[in-house]
Structure 1
């Protein structure tokens, strides 16, 4: 996370307003379409957490986990809509990080972007690691080899022009969405109609074996700390704004539809699992393909090779999430570099507007995962993911605080406003505080706090010792002026 460079970083040319703008070889290409933006965010948020990781949350809360997902959806909605409203007004590079630099301070913009880069590196590594596991389910190859294979795949996709990247991510995310829709349709049929071999259980599973909340209502709060990270990835709505053809219109649609789809998918899917599979059995899932709650449901239908079908779906889900997070990480590094908060070479882009150096550096977590798997070293990867947990909560909180300042200045979105405005943002902050409070009852959250606070301290020391002297608010203001002009130009063309 060093911000030093062997050569002085060139100051971008002056803008007419006296600020600084990115030179031509640092500009991103505005090539992402309306549908691609929504699917990129969906691709990051709809990962393996739904397909394989739901068992842990069910174990905490039992059937009442449905409430945890519903509450999580409300919190995630405040984040997505607040971020979407700001991004529709200011479709700047660096997304929420640049917004925090403008509305809070350059320090908070710096910290949020570096923390989110850590998030993307960790999530990319985790999802590619998962891809390696899923591949080894079919092929007798070591997991580390599968990691390298899929690392090469997402590297190739991200190095292509952003329009091509968007098209591929659209396809990958569509496969996941179709799979979830099929699961919902099949599941509802089994719940309310049934088959000759499996009579319809109805909603009896929601209250069987201890009632709706067998572990008490406090368990819903604890499960929320697991559930919330299923919504990780909605931040991409803000980051993609800088490469959208029509940012104001695209962000408006994506912010609304993405959170509705995610809430619908998560709540309904988990409800179906609880109705069809005894919750203690679903909670005992070990995180592998054979014990996935989704496989248990398909087994009840008598689908041949249910595990293989689910394996294919979760592999595509993991690949899509890894692909989207690598994209996000490279754009974070690009924006930091353009604002002189990271080495200068990270700001350079190809003629197609692709930040190749940022993409390569953002693969560092994948290389670490492959090395650990190859050498048999354990434990380090779990610590990395603990930092990810803490970092994403911090980023979400900064998004909501930035929004409160945004609205207090009398500014609103270009195309839509979050219902409830500041009051909704405060609700979201209270929800995030409740999630973080589980640090006192969950060991993994305690680790998240310890390692996350350590990462913040290191980043803060680097900022005040090395980076602060490079900060020039003119860079931030020029980025806003450029983005606002682009938004107005797009609106004019659309009109």
Structure 2
């Protein structure tokens, strides 16, 4: 569909959802929008998953993160243009339904819901792992506080934050994200000082660690590509720029600002942070050992150089970062599920909002990832973190590809009312698509990605069959147009 409908529902109709409840509250400000996106993207992928990427590519993981930043920038800018023009519920999924087809809108939203569910569980696994950094151990070396107990504790915290109100969620997420943004800045500044000047107890290493132990790319330049399967997990969360548009006070300004600042911050934080880690710690040590996630490479940096208490402080900060990311993804998943239900593409009972206009039922169902993570941890299943991370990368790559294809369709029908244009337009989208396809190709050789594909491909097939046999007949034909009409009216009023 290439143009707006000739008529739209009445103003009163647009203020109320089909079940008689109001639409989602538009309560998020400019700073909250930017920090929510940062809250999801600046989490475990950087602080914890970076060790795995370094293990694959060595110091050349810095290059992997730089390429990942470029791909993420293409996605964020294209998505930001669409969302600022059409701040609809369901974000990029509703846009795909309008500019591609209802099926692609359905598939992209369900895939992204799977992403948020898995990320929420993954981040809580990380939170619980960080908590074990302080836990005393038993005679056999096992932490006194089991992993599943930490998951339950932090799950309770984020569920309460999400069910209160979107305003409270935005305020808390702003604080949590601000803490970790400041923490990363301090880490970079202190780390650069240590690299250049060192301490009396730890001489400055300079750039020697970047070329020691096999050189800058000890496993070959092909490993830079293989590491992308891990690196792109770090950028999952930029999609929140689109999802939060339906609850922004002034989406045209907020999304434009958030898209630009998020791209710059992520590129700056990721590349410099990883550069500091591999400059201060020999890459083989920073790589860690498989699923031994209780100690982040960031914590290791300060522990190794003997800064008193710095390891504990850093561990607290990375725990906050993971908690913030889990919080943001539970929010995103619940909004995506509520959008699907409102459009007749999911259980209709999940479209209901509370009196504070919060999708409490959708939040409860979106907590399934938390339950799965706790059960896996309780039963002692090995590789919880890496398996869930791979499933996230597999699914989010499909979502990103659909976002960029949607932008190409949208770009052909732009109406001149955009307040923000993605630099490069269609060219930027194509560059992003090439990058996404390149990363997706790692499924041919990366074992964890192959395991994720064994789950992801059947999930896509099942979703497609369900759409063809059941969902298509139940789909609310006018729901997408109603969402666009409500968003356009709000945008025209100027909030």
1:436 aligned residue (417, 440, 450): 440
Q: Secondary structure at the match of 2:353?
A: coil
The corresponding residue for 2:147 is: 143
Q: Tell me the distance in 1 between the aligned counterparts of 2:305 and 2:347.
A: 55
Shift of 1:110: 0.3
Kindly indicate whether residue 198 of structure 2 is the aligned counterpart of residue 198 of structure 1.
no
Distance 1:278 1:112, change over 3 A: same
1:242 aligned residue (236, 239, 246): 246
1:25 aligned residue (13, 21, 26): 21
The corresponding residue for 1:362 is: 366
The corresponding residue for 2:70 is: 74
Kindly indicate whether residue 82 of structure 2 is the aligned counterpart of residue 86 of structure 1.
yes
Q: Tell me the distance in 1 between the aligned counterparts of 2:197 and 2:382.
A: 47
Deviates more, 1:48-57 or 1:339-348: 48-57
2:299–2:315: 8 Å Cα contact kept in structure 1?
Answer: no
2:48 aligned residue (46, 52, 59): 52
Equivalent residues in 2 for 1:42-441 (5 A)? 42-139=38-135, 140-286=144-290, 288=292, 291-377=295-381, 384-411=388-415, 414-441=418-445
TM-score for both structures, normalised by structure 2: 0.92
1:295–1:307: 8 Å Cα contact kept in structure 2?
Answer: yes
Distance 1:60 1:372, change over 3 A: closer
Q: Secondary structure at the match of 1:350?
A: coil
Distance 1:92 1:62, change over 3 A: same
Q: Secondary structure at the match of 1:151?
A: helix
Distance 1:271 1:285, change over 3 A: farther
Q: Tell me the distance in 1 between the aligned counterparts of 2:458 and 2:489.
A: 39
The corresponding residue for 1:9 is: none
The corresponding residue for 1:6 is: none
Q: Tell me the distance in 2 between the aligned counterparts of 1:191 and 1:48.
A: 24
Deviates more, 1:172-181 or 1:392-401: 172-181
2:288–2:297: 8 Å Cα contact kept in structure 1?
Answer: no
The corresponding residue for 2:490 is: 486
1:88–1:413: 8 Å Cα contact kept in structure 2?
Answer: no
Shift of 1:196: 2.0
Shift of 1:361: 0.6
Distance 1:129 1:412, change over 3 A: farther
Q: Tell me the distance in 2 between the aligned counterparts of 1:236 and 1:418.
A: 17
Q: Secondary structure at the match of 2:37?
A: helix
Q: Tell me the distance in 1 between the aligned counterparts of 2:346 and 2:22.
A: 13
Distance 1:294 1:136, change over 3 A: closer
The corresponding residue for 2:453 is: 449
The corresponding residue for 2:465 is: 461
Q: Secondary structure at the match of 2:198?
A: coil
Q: Tell me the distance in 1 between the aligned counterparts of 2:453 and 2:191.
A: 38
Shift of 1:64: 1.6
Q: Secondary structure at the match of 2:81?
A: helix
Shift of 1:431: 0.4
RMSD, aligned α-carbons: 2.1
Q: Tell me the distance in 2 between the aligned counterparts of 1:282 and 1:130.
A: 17
User: Structure 2: any 5+ residue segments left out of the alignment?
Assistant: 1-7, 136-143
Distance 1:141 1:203, change over 3 A: closer
Shift of 1:299: 2.7
**C-alpha distance after superposition, 1:188-208 (max 9, x if no partner):** 101112222222222233233
2:291–2:385: 8 Å Cα contact kept in structure 1?
Answer: no
